[in-house]
Structure 1
Amino acid sequence: MKFSKFSLLFLITGSFLLAQNQKYTIAEAVNGLRSNLAVKNISQFSWSDDNKSFYQGVKNGYLVTEVQSMKQDTLVSLFQLNKNLAADRKLKSFPRINFINKDKGYFTQGSKYFWVQRSGKEWKVTDWNSLDENAENTELLSDNSGFVYTVKNNLYLNKNGKVVAITDDQDENIVNGKSVHQQEFGISKGIFISPDNSKIAFYRMDQTMVNDYPIIDWSVVPAVNKNIKYPMAGSKSHHVTLGIYDIKTNKTTFVKTEGDAEQYLTVITWNPDSKSIFIGVLNRDQNDLQMNQYDAASGNFVKTIFEEKSDKYVEPQHPLTFFPNSTTDFIWQSERSGFNHLFHYNIDKGLIAQITKGNWLVTELLGFNEKKKEIFYTSTQETPLERHLYKVNWNTFKTEKLTDQAGMHTGILSKDGNHLYDSYSNANSPRIVNVINTNTLKSKNLITSENTLKNYQRPEIKNVTLSADDGTPLYGKLILPTDFDASKKYPVIVYLYNGPHLQLITNSFPASGNLWYEYMAQRGYIVFTMDGRGSSNRGQKFEQAVFRHLGETEMKDQLKGVAYLKSLPYVNADKMGIHGWSFGGFMTTSFMLKHPEVFKVGVAGGPVIDWNMYEIMYTERYMDSPQNNPEGYKQANLLDKVQNLKGHLLMIHGAQDNVVVWQHSIKFLKAAVDNGVQLDYFVYPGHEHNVLGKDRVHLMQKVTDYFDEYLKK
């Protein structure tokens, strides 16, 4: 069959238009970017110990790339590992290897550890160690001689195959070696091994005074209760101490942290000489931090290096970072200037200098180039909507920006500081990965990912900047329906969080920020989302504007967004919905009760209903204690405001939620019954605070259907 040029052009053009008209399934809208629409990335990137090459994971193996020439070769493959294994021990899939150097690494299978070693062209897998099958929180000694781990509530050392019980607490409510203080203050672990591997510091948390809280497993018959310890605002908190175990003497000394037993022990840091340890001791009111040095052998207090106070709160989040080959000088990250910046301290002389300055904040400290006296970091210096990579000389304070392309950059620095792995995306670029020479600033591209959404019907997205009542800029995004016609009026969904430690609006891929927003745009909705005061990465004043009155300033800012929406001729102000989860669920419910005339429909997931029932560390930071701020707690409490509900409200909760416990929404239901108020409710059995995996598709279908039911009629 022959086609004319015109017919061929028509076919090509028609296919192109058809391709761009594809619509997301709900599964793609929810999990697509982690499955069939995932953007190409470099897996398991790491720098070699000699700084001359880097490793990356590929299917059934690892590649090694020489930085100078970019010559690439197979480092090790599944075939090579299996070649020297007996038939009954052959690996079915390639394990994730932690490389010590280019010829040696290790991997785990369950509680078993294996060496992977190269001899000539051959790779061999040998048994290394086997830990208790219930081992958790495993930390490896840096000389690879042993492991420190927890089993239930106790701490163990397995060194050269010999197991020693470091603690032996019979009461399960005394917990050793695990993270404490509800993982606030940047705490992510409870085991801290000294640099010389001679001592092991560990958290010991006594929870005996904290109330039990039931978490019911409904999957078995009869249902089974598992109590957790959940310290609620204003109630008794757990008591934490820091033990130091001496491997040679087999003895434990507890650090003498004097003061209130309910104080917080944060940012644990070993001195590189392993002779002393630093603890940020923060009072329960969270407004007075003392950075104390303690002797590691005796546990005795040595001195306070510095103190930080605030009329609101001090929130330490990062351990000390010592300068290369120094036991006296370190970097401390602090918001004392209003934004998180780097401060140079000396143990004996105190503050030496503030290294970074400005109305922007450092978001990550990446490392050093010792020879050039350079510090590498990520910051919002360009704009709060982006992250860029920088270096600064710690003597002259000369700063240089290392990335030019707009977007959200993340970096991994080589150990010598001469090369920087730079991965970024922006509204138009799904992912670009380069390696930057930090001396010449020349870069080599590793991947430029294709747009996996190119065949889909994408909405127009408008960046919006509004002003809070004090003139503060508020950044948001307006996502228009894919069949947008300015002469028509459309229903609107406002998605919000607006709480601490989260930022929704950035210049990243996809430009919308969430494929579910685009899915709703394909279904004829306008979607609006904005970061109001109280949210993250805008500095202390922005974050602390909500202090003692959670929900109030945030609603004022979000109402600016509502006013903007109502000013648009194509917005149907009578058909507005609101949706959020966790803090966003609290905000959604607050709007439906405190401003019931604004939104016709609300969907609140995992909502905080009464801050008296949320955990101490988070709540008392932002709200003070219930005893000191009864009016603030009463103002934020939604249980006595349920009678104000006018619109349609769907509340959703995970039945095993151990963050915002189920009782929040259960008490809200009781208040609704008591007041004769009707609302809709749904529970996800087996899920904790977030509904994840395939069940999240069910969740977002339910949310979608609810908006369809009440906003499309």
Structure 2
Amino acid sequence: MKRFISFFLIISSFSTALGQKELTLEQAVQQQYTEFRPKTLTGFSWLPGKTEYSYVSNDSLVIVNVTNSKMNRALTLSDINDALKANNFQPLKRIPWGWVDGKHIRFKADKYFVLFNTEDKAIPSKFLIADNSQNHEFSPDGQWMSFTLGQNIFLMSTQGESVALTNDSLDGLVNGQSVHRNEFGINKGTFWSPTGRYLAYYHMDESMVSQYPLVDISKRVGELVSIRYPMAGMRSHEVTVRVYDTQTRTTVELKTGEPREQYLTNLAWSPDESSIFLAILNREQNHMKMNCYSVSNGDFVKTLFEERNDKYVEPLNSPQFISNDTFVWQSRADGWNHIYLYSTDGKLIKQLTKGEWEVTSIDAIDASNGIIYYAATTESPLERHLYSINIKNGATLHLTSGSGTHRSVVSPDFKYFVDFYTSIDIPNRVGLFTTKGKLVKQLVDAPNPYNGYNVSLPRLITLTAKDGTTLYGRMIKPTNFDSTQKYPAVIYVYGGPHSQLVINSWMGGARLWECYMANMGYILFTLDNRGTSNRGAEFEQVIHRQLGTVELNDQLVGVEYLKSLSYVDSARLGVHGWSFGGFMTLTMMLRASEQFRVGVAGGPVTDWKFYEVMYGERYMDTPDENPDGYSNADLKNYVANLKGKVLIIHDDMDRTVVPQNSLTLIHEFIKSGVQVDFFMYPQHDHNVMGKDRVHLIDKIIRYFDDNL
């Protein structure tokens, strides 16, 4: 390999002499989304309730009136800092842009969240931030801020009144925080009602969950840090939902019933605040009920509808209300994620979207005119486009054009949208359109951010799995690529659910360090196997109860493709991935050992019985229910197969894939007399971020340089 690197250096020196600069490793790892981010409208946002949008330009927040350019204006950092100084706050270094309504923004200044009036430059209210507090959320009426401190939840009023909603001290009780390990679309633990009168919040009892020991080495003597970690087949936590009334200062708990080990997700308020809707999923994750509960007393009112699946049901999005009596719901009931219209009595009024493609988001709902704006994969699984559908008659408009990925933001009055468009060939185009799809104005057409740099860009590839399924891949070649040469190839893999590494967007989903590595004389290749996202239930669920098997078969289709290329050295194939990608890296090295010379596995799951309940049991059931599946996926059973070189990397504070995964596998390698390499990153949690990430990527590349 070193001889190949020398050849690369000669060619790159010639390239540099022609004026093309080489990326540094630091640039490749840390600057993709800063220095090399394509030109765009930074901080773009529509002003609530107005036909105006804003974006950040240098030290100003530029506000554009779509219908009358004479009303365009700018809020400067000096404007804000003058007001802060007058109120004895320290100045800000960057302009904020978090709109609360059409004239106020909210931002953090010193130990306060400040509400700033952009018209009269005044500060009408502020909230004191308690030391060590987290999970701050503001009521829609602006009168309250909820937050957590330790295991309890509090409210702070604009007058400075602090209200403790809970006072738990027993270890294992948690309030107002995300639950169920952020599965099922959960990313927070507090939910304000539409007017701000009520606050619903999660209460979690995890006192019965096993504690996993981590060690904090930053102390003079390392200290034990125990985390509650429910492994597959073991006791899980119990969750309830409580509702606090800011007027009566009382709390009720929703009567979600038995069994206590169930998942409560997709919480939604009815527009009149009389009811809360919850998706209740059984622990087996194959039966979901959409339940309605009374806010006044917590009583169960009724089950609106149910969904069952012989593999799993995974609700990810809350109901979105059209009126107090109707709402839309996203479901894979027909095998593809689509939009369904329900009445609050549980009647399915109609399925609004249909076809062998997926709705990826609902972007806006114009309730007055009965129009839903949504993004979908209708054109291709690799693309995203914006559509509108008339709820009454089903008339659908395709609002975006151009192959690639469109991220569209609809205006509050539903007359316009701003489209952020990118493709494998287009860094970024931003345009203002009417909601009939007519271009009003092109706002940005970004040049290639790598102009002047020696950067090789990806190209997209289409392959076919053994069963005829279409698979999509991505390849990066060196900029000095010579088809008469033989190159080693490295597969960058993830391969698990909730992922899509290959997409028709700028860079094709690739990290810049992959391009950097390619320029060192490698072919970089990525393939999305079955089991990954946005391809429908059948494509994803084929992995059920057999993680690693179908995924491996599809990745080997990619290997066959690489070996068919005259410029790939089939004797020098490597693979790297992290988390599920680490599991796949080791699966490929151990279950297809004859194919690969080198592997680097980061944060790998090595035995699914060591992984958490929610994710693990969804895809594998429990170890008792699926012993063969767990055994087949247990990488300790394949250590004797290893033929190449493997580096296993883990973080010592990994709370997602606990270090027991790597350590037990390494122990098995030792018992079998098989040599492997191991490196641990201290004080990192499930991946290496910040400045240490440069060290990580350097280590990965060096390992391939030395061994491939």
- The question of a shared fold, defined as TM-score above 0.5 by the shorter chain, is answered with yes
Name the counterpart of 2:32.
33
Query: Does the 8 A contact of 1:65 with 1:71 survive in 2?
Result: no
Query: Which amino acid in 2 is paired with 1:369?
Result: D
Using the TM superposition, give the Cα deviation of residue 202 of structure 1 relative to its aligned residue in structure 2, in angstroms: 0.9
Aligned pair in 2 of structure 1 residues 710, 189: CA closer, same or farther (>3 Å)?
same
Q: How many Å separate the matches in 2 of 1:188 and 1:657?
A: 19
Q: How many Å separate the matches in 1 of 2:71 and 2:632?
A: 62
Query: Which amino acid in 2 is paired with 1:89?
Result: F
Query: Which amino acid in 2 is paired with 1:148?
Result: S
* 1:554-573 equivalences in 2 (<5 Å): 554-573=551-570
User: Is 1:346 the counterpart of 2:343 in the alignment?
Assistant: yes
Name the counterpart of 1:78.
77
Q: How many Å separate the matches in 1 of 2:354 and 2:306?
A: 20
Name the counterpart of 1:156.
154
Query: Which amino acid in 2 is paired with 1:151?
Result: L
Query: Does the 8 A contact of 1:658 with 1:689 survive in 2?
Result: yes
Aligned pair in 2 of structure 1 residues 347, 125: CA closer, same or farther (>3 Å)?
closer
Deviations 1:138-186 (A, max 9, x none): 1111111111111111111223422111111111310011110000000
Q: How many Å separate the matches in 2 of 1:268 and 1:460?
A: 42
Deviations 1:99-150 (A, max 9, x none): 334433332235412232256xx52346522132222111111111111111
Aligned pair in 2 of structure 1 residues 101, 299: CA closer, same or farther (>3 Å)?
closer
CA root-mean-square deviation: 1.9
Deviations 1:370-420 (A, max 9, x none): 343211011100000111111111111111111112211112111221111
Q: How many Å separate the matches in 2 of 1:432 and 1:413?
A: 16
User: Is 1:434 the counterpart of 2:431 in the alignment?
Assistant: yes
What secondary structure does 1:186 align onto? coil
Name the counterpart of 1:131.
129
Using the TM superposition, give the Cα deviation of residue 215 of structure 1 relative to its aligned residue in structure 2, in angstroms: 2.1
Query: Does the 8 A contact of 2:89 with 2:110 survive in 1?
Result: no
1:676 aligns with one of 660, 673, 677: 673
Name the counterpart of 1:544.
541
Using the TM superposition, give the Cα deviation of residue 462 of structure 1 relative to its aligned residue in structure 2, in angstroms: 4.1
Query: Does the 8 A contact of 1:495 with 1:528 survive in 2?
Result: yes
Aligned pair in 2 of structure 1 residues 495, 71: CA closer, same or farther (>3 Å)?
farther
* 1:305-324 equivalences in 2 (<5 Å): 305-323=304-322
Name the counterpart of 1:514.
511
Query: Does the 8 A contact of 2:501 with 2:509 survive in 1?
Result: no
Using the TM superposition, give the Cα deviation of residue 76 of structure 1 relative to its aligned residue in structure 2, in angstroms: 1.8
Using the TM superposition, give the Cα deviation of residue 71 of structure 1 relative to its aligned residue in structure 2, in angstroms: 5.3
Query: Does the 8 A contact of 2:90 with 2:109 survive in 1?
Result: no
Q: How many Å separate the matches in 2 of 1:555 and 1:288?
A: 29
What secondary structure does 1:612 align onto? helix
Query: Does the 8 A contact of 2:55 with 2:61 survive in 1?
Result: yes
Using the TM superposition, give the Cα deviation of residue 631 of structure 1 relative to its aligned residue in structure 2, in angstroms: 0.6
Identity among equivalent positions (%) equals 41
Query: Which amino acid in 2 is paired with 1:454?
Result: N
What secondary structure does 1:584 align onto? helix
User: Is 1:46 the counterpart of 2:45 in the alignment?
Assistant: yes
* 1:515-534 equivalences in 2 (<5 Å): 515-534=512-531
Q: Which moved more, 1:598-607 or 1:670-679?
A: 670-679
What secondary structure does 1:98 align onto? coil
Using the TM superposition, give the Cα deviation of residue 81 of structure 1 relative to its aligned residue in structure 2, in angstroms: 2.5
Q: Which moved more, 1:219-228 or 1:281-290?
A: 219-228
Using the TM superposition, give the Cα deviation of residue 296 of structure 1 relative to its aligned residue in structure 2, in angstroms: 0.8
Query: Which amino acid in 2 is paired with 1:569?
Result: S
Aligned pair in 2 of structure 1 residues 642, 309: CA closer, same or farther (>3 Å)?
same
Using the TM superposition, give the Cα deviation of residue 23 of structure 1 relative to its aligned residue in structure 2, in angstroms: 2.4
Query: Which amino acid in 2 is paired with 1:635?
Result: N
Query: Does the 8 A contact of 1:503 with 1:537 survive in 2?
Result: yes
Q: How many Å separate the matches in 2 of 1:50 and 1:197?
A: 18
What secondary structure does 1:44 align onto? coil
Name the counterpart of 1:3.
none
Using the TM superposition, give the Cα deviation of residue 73 of structure 1 relative to its aligned residue in structure 2, in angstroms: 4.0
Name the counterpart of 2:7.
none
Q: How many Å separate the matches in 2 of 1:16 and 1:672?
A: 45
Name the counterpart of 2:207.
208
1:464 aligns with one of 461, 465, 469: 461
Deviations 1:663-692 (A, max 9, x none): 111111211111111111111112111111
Q: Which moved more, 1:452-461 or 1:151-160?
A: 452-461
Using the TM superposition, give the Cα deviation of residue 587 of structure 1 relative to its aligned residue in structure 2, in angstroms: 0.5
Q: How many Å separate the matches in 2 of 1:57 and 1:245?
A: 38
Q: Which moved more, 1:549-558 or 1:72-81?
A: 72-81
Q: Which moved more, 1:19-28 or 1:189-198?
A: 19-28
Query: Does the 8 A contact of 2:204 with 2:238 survive in 1?
Result: yes
Query: Which amino acid in 2 is paired with 1:669?
Result: I
Name the counterpart of 2:259.
260
Query: Does the 8 A contact of 2:399 with 2:436 survive in 1?
Result: no
Deviations 1:680-710 (A, max 9, x none): 1111112111111221111111111111111
Name the counterpart of 2:217.
218
Between the two proteins, the alignment pairs up a number of residues equal to 694
Query: Does the 8 A contact of 2:32 with 2:511 survive in 1?
Result: no
Query: Which amino acid in 2 is paired with 1:96?
Result: P
Q: How many Å separate the matches in 2 of 1:389 and 1:163?
A: 44
What secondary structure does 1:497 align onto? coil
Aligned pair in 2 of structure 1 residues 71, 584: CA closer, same or farther (>3 Å)?
farther
Deviations 1:41-84 (A, max 9, x none): 22222212333211112332311001124557443212222335
Q: How many Å separate the matches in 2 of 1:682 and 1:302?
A: 54
Aligned pair in 2 of structure 1 residues 216, 15: CA closer, same or farther (>3 Å)?
closer
Name the counterpart of 2:297.
298
TM-score (norm 1): 0.94
User: Is 1:107 the counterpart of 2:129 in the alignment?
Assistant: no
Q: Which moved more, 1:458-467 or 1:524-533?
A: 458-467
Q: How many Å separate the matches in 2 of 1:343 and 1:34?
A: 37
Name the counterpart of 1:116.
116
What secondary structure does 1:533 align onto? coil
Name the counterpart of 2:9.
none
Name the counterpart of 1:176.
175
Q: Which moved more, 1:470-479 or 1:282-291?
A: 470-479
2:412 aligns with one of 408, 411, 415: 415
User: Is 1:187 the counterpart of 2:182 in the alignment?
Assistant: no
Query: Does the 8 A contact of 1:206 with 1:239 survive in 2?
Result: yes
TM-score (norm 2): 0.95
Using the TM superposition, give the Cα deviation of residue 226 of structure 1 relative to its aligned residue in structure 2, in angstroms: 1.5
What secondary structure does 1:668 align onto? helix
What secondary structure does 2:488 align onto? strand
Query: Does the 8 A contact of 1:61 with 1:74 survive in 2?
Result: no
Deviations 1:600-636 (A, max 9, x none): 0000011001100101000000001111001100110
Aligned pair in 2 of structure 1 residues 20, 340: CA closer, same or farther (>3 Å)?
farther
Deviations 1:200-219 (A, max 9, x none): 11111000100111221112
Aligned pair in 2 of structure 1 residues 542, 70: CA closer, same or farther (>3 Å)?
farther
Aligned pair in 2 of structure 1 residues 445, 184: CA closer, same or farther (>3 Å)?
same
Q: How many Å separate the matches in 2 of 1:60 and 1:43?
A: 12
What secondary structure does 1:34 align onto? coil
What secondary structure does 1:696 align onto? helix
Q: How many Å separate the matches in 2 of 1:367 and 1:426?
A: 24
Q: How many Å separate the matches in 2 of 1:55 and 1:21?
A: 36
Q: How many Å separate the matches in 1 of 2:271 and 2:586?
A: 49
Query: Does the 8 A contact of 2:116 with 2:124 survive in 1?
Result: yes
Name the counterpart of 1:489.
486
Q: How many Å separate the matches in 1 of 2:403 and 2:522?
A: 29
Q: Which moved more, 1:92-101 or 1:262-271?
A: 92-101
Query: Does the 8 A contact of 1:408 with 1:424 survive in 2?
Result: yes
Using the TM superposition, give the Cα deviation of residue 92 of structure 1 relative to its aligned residue in structure 2, in angstroms: 4.1
What secondary structure does 1:100 align onto? coil
* 1:12-31 equivalences in 2 (<5 Å): 21-31=20-30
Aligned pair in 2 of structure 1 residues 690, 169: CA closer, same or farther (>3 Å)?
same
What secondary structure does 1:701 align onto? helix
* 1:557-706 equivalences in 2 (<5 Å): 557-706=554-703
Query: Which amino acid in 2 is paired with 1:696?
Result: R
